[in-house]
Chain A
Amino acid sequence: MVFNSVDFLIFFPVVCLVTFALPRRARNVWLLLASYYFYMAWNPQYALLILASTVITYASGLLIGWAGTKEARRAKTLKRLFLALSFASNLLILGVFKYLGFFLTTLSRLLGAVGIALKTPALDILLPVGISFYTFQALSYTADVYAGKLAPRKNFITYALYVSFFPQLVAGPIERSDHLLEQLERPRPFDYLRAREGLLRMGWGLFQKVVIADRAAVFVDAVFASPEAVPGSVAALAMVFFSVQIYCDFGGYSNIAIGAARVLGVDLIENFRQPFFAVSVRDFWRRWHISLSTWFRDYVYIPLGGSRRGRVRKALNTLAVFLLSGLWHGAQWHFVAWGFLHGVYQVAGDCTAGLRRRLRAALHIREDGAVHRVFATAVTFLLVTAAFCVFRAGSVGEAARMLRSVLLDFRPAALTSKELFAFGLGERELRAFGWSVAALAAVDLVQERRSVWRLVEDRALPVRWAVYLALIFAILIFGVYGPGYDASSFIYFAF
């Protein structure tokens, strides 16, 4: 079940009430059951995959621990073996379910190009929801035990809950064993203040999702469905809308996850920190999908040598990480291209750092001054938005065509004429969208300095309640949900 559904609206309060009504020892069992129920609402069979991943990584932890008791050289070999086995089998599952079709078509295309015909079997594998998320989370446990950061765990229930904890099961944040697992092992009494804060955060996440992201999606889908027919200015607007959409969709979902976990007494890691205020692409990745970028940093980039082996090696490592990140987002070439583009951005940023520094000095612009900040933020946003166009478009070619029309066929008049209302959003809706984005900007601006949740929670009750109710009714009224009201089908005086 997804967060923005009536099912979840019933599921979540029931799970919370039962959790805190149960004796502490039974709570993790209950949460485990609830998490599997949550996951099986998509497809019961997939529970087997998550169970398999859980058992393999759980066993790998115990085996690595057992290997550690052997004499040093043998221990090292055995630990490596178990690490490799756990990674290989988990990535194999991920590979089969997420990437097999992609690799086969790519292979047959390559062979086709050199004149060999390969008949690929028709694959009918549905991508199991969240597999990329929980696989990475489970693997972080194996890696941490291997690195000696964490003692192997014996309690299977708690470990299984760590892999399947429903708030962050299907779309992150991707948790780390040293963070989430240890919290799940501690008692978590009900905390009124934390619960309030969690609920507020869930409300804001829902607002981001159903008021901002889902409305932006209407416009974005309409433009991306037939980009050839659209003036460059409208295409550019759709790209900006898509940046807002994907942030609010993903960031909103993360907020709901973090808020829901907080109500249950669990702190999840932050996943988004005002990404569009980033002053460089590297800074963007410190703010965007943080749990994934730190995963890649800790388990790929640093093991590859990170930035310690010279500039060329650093550039290659960066490219490798972002290629993988692109592939993680989806088994299609335009996702890979998106990741690659981000890698290139950063390598180019490193290469031009000296040049830019000299330019700033010549122009007497201070790097931490307001002018430079605004300029750098705007440039970063444009770069990220252009890359998201590749992410959203069906193919690299289509993205290129759109970017070309933005550059060569801008026709700005389209933005101020009625033509703008032809893409699914009427004048009133566009205006409402504008206001909701203004609210987003205001909240993010506050978040740059202090916690907006605390800001609300520290107010007196009437203010707090006014905020809660305003948020709830903004969602109920301006959210994109429900059967959709069509005035023309509501003619009361028929005939």
Chain B
Amino acid sequence: MEKKKGRAALHILAAVAFILLFALLLSLVSGAFRPREGLTFYEEPKDSLDVLFLGSSHMLNAVSPMELWRDYGMASCNLAENGQVLPVTYYVLLDALQRQSPKLVVVDVYKVVQDTLYDTKSYLHTSLDGMPLGLAKLRAVYGLLPAGERTEFLFDLTLYHDRWRDEEGLKRETRDPDFKGYVPLTAVEPHEGFAVLPESETASLPETPVQYLAKIVELCRDKNVDLLFIAAPFTTPVPDDMDRQRRVNAVADLAKTWGVPFVNMMHELDGMDFDLSADLADTYHANVSGMKKITAWLGAYIAAHYAIPDRRDDSRYHSWDAAYKRYETSLEKS
């Protein structure tokens, strides 16, 4: 009887060991098949970041943390992604706040124009694939996707395993970790003469993004983190989409009721010397020149309103200086 019990225990142990080994291999293989590396954010040491930027591509192409490092010694990271609508932003932030304890979170609210839980599935993958499997990711996947569509997000090998068929094989897109999440756009597309509507012109907001903005506010309050809404400068195809401006304008009232400061850069263009004919890469996104102006202005704003520590003399941040040098060189090259 004793012997039998001992053997059973051994079998259970073997089964558990096998499952662990399988899980380890699964995560390695999944990583190898993922078409891009995860957000560089996940490589930052725990509790090392003081400011986090989130939002859609508007934020992704508009704010470069390295510029803030150079000017203010701010340790920040850009977690924005293409097509990251506000519900997704909420879950990315939920996870990020378990890894980092920032002083300030900055969210670009442009996506209030969109009444969906996620944009395309591929965009949802860009935002979620890098996030390690954990409670926050489970909450994100269950919160954003209906039953039957979750597997490809929780176990993305079920989606990416087919990539061996592609001519390019398992080639991966990597983002330079020295850019701390910022993605530069170099094109220039002139949009002079674009009509900026006055702040008073607003339109009613869809339900979903407002609901998730409220959740972001609540989350930051719970975690005792300052929250700042911004809207980076953008244009829209004229004349069909002027409502986007009206909707972004409408965030001002909402932010006021929540007591969250809101900087709508559409109404600060002159102050930041933003030139619609030279600083946009396309209809919606800032190019490198636009980024420099937006980041400089925002940096000054943050420095004036929040007590973000200067980490330049902190020995734990030595790597940031070297990273800045590499960032500067590669930005010039692009």
Contacts and interface: CB of A to CB of B under 8 A. Distances in A.
Interface of A: 6, 192, 426, 428-429, 432, 461, 465, 468-469, 472-473, 476-479, 481-485, 487, 489-495
A468 B25 CA distance: 12
A485 B25 contact: no
Contact of B166 (A481, A482, A487): A487
Given A465-B18, A469-B21, A489-B122, A494 B82 contact: yes
Contacts of A192: 7-8, 11
Interface string B162-179: 111110100001000000
A461 B17 CA distance: 12
Given A477-B29, A490-B122, A485 B157 contact: no
A492 B173 contact: yes
A493 B122 contact: no
B162 A493 contact: no
A312 to B, nearest CB: 55
Given A192-B8, A477-B164, A495-B284, 4 more contacts: A468-B18, A478-B161, A487-B35, A494-B83
The 5 closest A-B pairs by CB, nearest first: A482-B158, A485-B162, A490-B122, A477-B161, A192-B11
A369 B173 CA distance: 58
A483 B165 contact: no
A479 B161 contact: yes
B126 A485 contact: no
A432 B36 CA distance: 24
Contacts of B26: 476
28 contacts: A426-B165, A428-B164, A428-B165, A429-B165, A432-B164, A469-B25, A476-B26, A476-B158, A476-B161, A477-B29, A477-B157, A477-B161, A482-B152, A482-B162, A483-B152, A483-B158, A484-B159, A485-B159, A487-B35, A487-B163, A489-B120, A489-B122, A490-B35, A492-B82, A492-B126, A492-B173, A494-B57, A495-B284
Interface in B224-254: none
A429 B163 CA distance: 11
Contacts of A472: 22
A495 to B, nearest CB: 5
Contacts of B285: 495
A426 B282 CA distance: 37
A465 B21 contact: yes
Interface of B: 7-8, 11, 14, 18, 21-22, 25-26, 29, 33, 35-36, 57, 82-83, 120-122, 125-126, 151-152, 157-166, 168, 173, 183, 185, 281-282, 284-285
Contacts of B125: 490
Which applies to chain A's interface (DSSP): helix, strand, loop or mixed? helix
Contact of B29 (A6, A473, A483, A491): A473
A494 B285 CA distance: 11
Nearest to A432: B164
A428 B168 CA distance: 11
A478 B157 CA distance: 11
A468 B18 CA distance: 10
A493 B183 contact: yes
A492 B84 CA distance: 12
A481 B152 CA distance: 11
A147 B120 CA distance: 64
Contact of B159 (A473, A482, A494): A482
B29 A485 contact: no
Contacts of B151: 6, 482
Contacts of A489: 120, 122
Contact of B161 (A426, A482, A487, A493): A482
A403 B281 CA distance: 60
Contacts of A432: 164
Contact of A481 (B83, B158, B282): B158
Contacts of A461: 14
A472 B281 CA distance: 46
Nearest to B83: A494
Contacts of A468: 18
A323 to B, nearest CB: 43
Contacts of B168: 487
Given A489-B120, A492-B126, A493-B183, A483 B159 contact: yes
Nearest to A479: B161
Nearest to B10: A192
Nearest to A477: B161
A465 B22 CA distance: 10
A10 B26 CA distance: 18
Contacts of B57: 494
A98 B64 CA distance: 67
A484 B159 CA distance: 6
From B36, B162, B165, B281, name the one whose CB has the most chain A CB atoms within 10 angstroms.
B162
A482 B282 CA distance: 35
Nearest to A475: B161
